[in-house]
Structure 1
Amino acid sequence: MSQLKPMSHIDSAPSTPGKFKMEKASYFNRVRWHTSLAKLAVWSFVFLGAILIFFLRSPASSPVPADLSRRSLRTYNWGGPVWEKRVRASAQIRSRNGFAVLVTGAAGFVGTHVSAALKRRGDGVLGLDNFNDYYDPSLKRARQGLLERSGVYIVEGDINDEALLRKLFEVVPFTHVMHLAAQAGVRYAMENPGSYVHSNIAGFVNLLEVCKSVNPQPAIVWASSSSVYGLNTKVPFSERDRTDQPASLYAATKKAGEEIAHTYNHIYGLSLTGLRFFTVYGPWGRPDMAYFFFTRDLLKGKSIPIFEAANHGTVARDFTYIDDIVRGCLGALDTAEKSTGSGGKKRGPAQLRIFNLGNTSPVPVSDLVSILERLLKVKAKRNIMKLPRNGDVQFTHANISYAQMELGYKPTTDLQSGLKKFVRWYLNYYSGGKKAVE
């Protein structure tokens, strides 16, 4: 709204000394004063009315600190008969003994693949995602389109939105929750630490609060991370190893999630299974992962940073192909026992598990680059650098014997085969398939 302009058409009227008597001058001064007051009152009412209209039309949401902008709780359009019909249709079970599964983070890398696999086998699947901009949202929208074509509807919303979560459980009595929504990435925690607390801790607690109070309580499978092993030097990493030395805030929030899960299992009887993923890769992957941006930079002729630890130590990762991870996720859902609580009260002991989902074959990052060179037919410009103190660890290596025994988990894809599939997808998605892959 424009500022009030000075009423110059009155104040600048010419005056000739001695032409008016004092009485007349006083009269005109009073007229001018009352006119000014009247106009000021009118403009004040207009200004106040505009403010009132602004607040009445604004979304009813609390302000969120700027550092949480990527994970802010926003107001989304949800609710109503049409919306509820879409939710029910997506979550409709189409196979005998199938599950009704709420998948959080459904537009994410793992979430998309898990949702599609559940739908293919006849489970009812409803997605939830806030489409934040930690990485290119257009990739998430493309995944959303992929899922919608297979019959999976993704509700756009935040896991911190308690009213939305309660509404979803009111519309669909979910038997299971696959909780994959999280603020990912080790290095980004140094830029925006609040987003990790907001999503990985507060968001997880909010979900558990809703799940504990619904009837029946769902069984919950959720994504932890291999990062919880932190500075451990004993390999391979076993679920029995210590996890109290996180090397990053991301790892600390995932470790906190494991402790929070224990609390809700103990007090409320929620069935909870945590999955520690080891460096997941594959088609539709995350652009912030090394294999992804190495591929991009190789094609652009940019140098590739290859980290080495102290004393020229090798940096290696237990790269795990997405299809193997999906099989582990489905195995965890299939073997999850029912929660034992009712109305927020525990009725008996409930299942609580943690599994490693890895490949058991750590590969040096330099070998990863060599494989990509062969697949892309491009020579890498390698830039050897010291491993920075930003949360990255020197190596990861999963002991998967517990998952093999309990879930029937057995990874089958080696890095060479998995990267070939990824590169084929990458070139098709970003280059229209113009480049050949061996």
Structure 2
Amino acid sequence: MTDQLRSLALDALTRARDRTAALTSCVDDPDLTAQHSPLMSPLVWDLAHIGNQEEQWLLRQVGKGEALRPEIDSLYDAFEHPRAARPSLPLLAPAEARIYAADVRGRVLDILERTAFEGGPLVDAGFAFGMIAQHEQQHDETMLITHQLRKGPPALSAPAPPAHDTGPLPREVLVPGGTFTMGTSTEPWALDNERPAHRRIVPAFHIDTTPVTCGEYQAFIEDGGYHERRWWAAEGWDQIRQHDIGAPLFWRREGGTWLRRRFGVSEEVPPDEPVLHVSWYEADAYARWAGRRLPTEAEWEKAARHDPHTGRARRYPWGDSDPTETHANLGQRHLRPAPAGSYPRGESPLGVRQLIGDVWEWTSSDFLPYPGFVAFPYREYSEVFFGGEHKVLRGGSFAVDPVACRGTFRNWDLPVRRQIFSGFRTARDAQPAGPDGDGR
């Protein structure tokens, strides 16, 4: 088991570092040190921050070694310096940041070889190594967002997702009411906000079989959705009026055609692809316009994990096995979502598709702790974000690596955020049963 865990950790760390290298080697130094949006850090900050977190947790905590570069800890403290202020800091230059991250990684691999994976929650089952691999992949996704915001010619490329011609799908499915197990107490690399497993009662509801598409969202735009106050939460209405928002981020209209900018390429908006780069307010307004609503976080997880035939909660919609390229659009293999209805092998027992990968899905829920939550290994990962300010997103996107995506994984962000790879699907309450028991 120890050798298997060591191999898993090595693979996760290596895959993350290979992706970091690809995201930072495809542009020159001025692009690495520039701030492409005040919402994001310079790419070189993310690069050195990745190395610094690895040093703090794996060299100092797990390896019990001396600090390698303690003088830069404050520079790469995400809570000490907001993103907009980071370009003014005396950051490591690109070459020095690469050398530093590589030096840390070399020492970490030595620690990995001698770690026994037992003796405390930080090392049990290789948790700290999994945590750092997830942290790096999360920053890789952040850097990919920066690449999307970056102006100039394309720096990245990837093939289109494979076609899946599986015929028409029903718009929605019924998820039966009752209890299910939410969260986890057994997933070895699950983060603190996913824990502990607990029982939830969820009334019956209907949920879309696929995320809302660009074509469906265009109908909302064409129907004047951005100009009808009644569809919008008060703060969302103020946001779109203040910033003159009338379509998803990166969309523009030329004549009768909607175009979008995607990683430096201008292209026609594909109507069958899940809509991307919409805020929670936009998702909520669309759902109201459609006579529906956003699913709660518990509804989303029940649709994704609950097996009504056995009553157990799966790791993923398709079962307990790790995702492959036939299950979901993950790992930056493709720089776009797959068409709605793709990945039939990844559907849930009830027939819901693309719950994992493609687009992060906004839910209606605030980011709150589960009953019995315990912060680990530090409060700043989850606890300081709990409350009504942040909304929960679920499912991951094409930009998420499998190590940082599972049926229990929770993401969160401010409801105004649009630069993230966010989409949504809708839900509605199940009709109460009529006299004949058929719900009509």
TM-score, length of structure 1 as denominator length? 0.24
Structure possessing the higher relative contact order (Cα contacts under 8 Å, 6 or more residues apart): 2
* Greater percentage in helix: 1
Query: What is the TM-score normalised by the length of structure 2?
Result: 0.24
